[in-house]
């Protein structure tokens, strides 16, 4: 997984555990696509200070994930749901029973809500 995507996801999960500045800067850098210079200018601090705050925040995000594993569990769950949906599709296409097809369609809709 791309580092930017991973940090963005970690920020969504654990971002509120960071300091306000760490969360704000990481969100601006990774989600709002602002450069270090733009963030520094907006906050009237040096580019290096922004980089340090972001790096410290990134470290915290990875530390939280290492201990709590919420992102790993979520991704694993989504992968399992996709596998189940795929198997349900196979059953649905090979079944000629309309009742079974309707039940499978309902189950698929419910599972899609979880992804």
Are 70 and 13 in contact by the 8 Å Cβ rule? The answer is yes
Contact 11, 19 (CB under 8 A): no
pLDDT band at residue 50, thresholds of 50, 70 and 90? very high
The DSSP H or E segment spanning 66 is helix 47-68
Read off the pLDDT of residues 5-49 as tens digits, 9 standing for 90 and up. Answer: 999 999 999 999 999 999 999 999 999 999 999 999 999 999 999
Per the listing, tokens 């596998």 go with: 83
Q: How far apart are CA 21 and CA 29, in angstroms?
A: 12
Contact 4, 61 (CB under 8 A): no
| Contact (CB, 8 A) for 28 and 40 | no
Report the percent of the chain where pLDDT is more than 70. 100
pTM of the model: 0.79
Above 80 in pLDDT, residue 105?
yes
For 3-68, CATH gives: 1.10.10.10
Q: What is the DSSP letter of 29?
A: I
Q: Say which residue, 40 or 113, is predicted with more confidence.
A: 40
pLDDT > 90? residue 66: yes
């Amino acid at each position: 997984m791309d580092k930017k995507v991973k940090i963005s996801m970690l920020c969504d999960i654990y971002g509120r555990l960071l300091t306000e500045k760490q969360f704000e800067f990481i969100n601006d850098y990774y989600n709002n696509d602002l450069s270090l210079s733009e963030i520094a200018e907006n906050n009237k601090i040096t580019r290096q200070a922004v980089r340090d705050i972001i790096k410290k925040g990134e470290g915290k995000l990875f530390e939280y994930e290492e201990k709590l594993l919420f992102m790993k569990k979520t991704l694993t769950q989504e992968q399992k749901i996709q596998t189940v949906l795929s198997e349900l599709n196979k059953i649905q296409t090979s079944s000629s029973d309309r009742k079974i097809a309707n039940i499978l369609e309902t189950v698929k809709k419910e599972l899609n809500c979880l992804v």
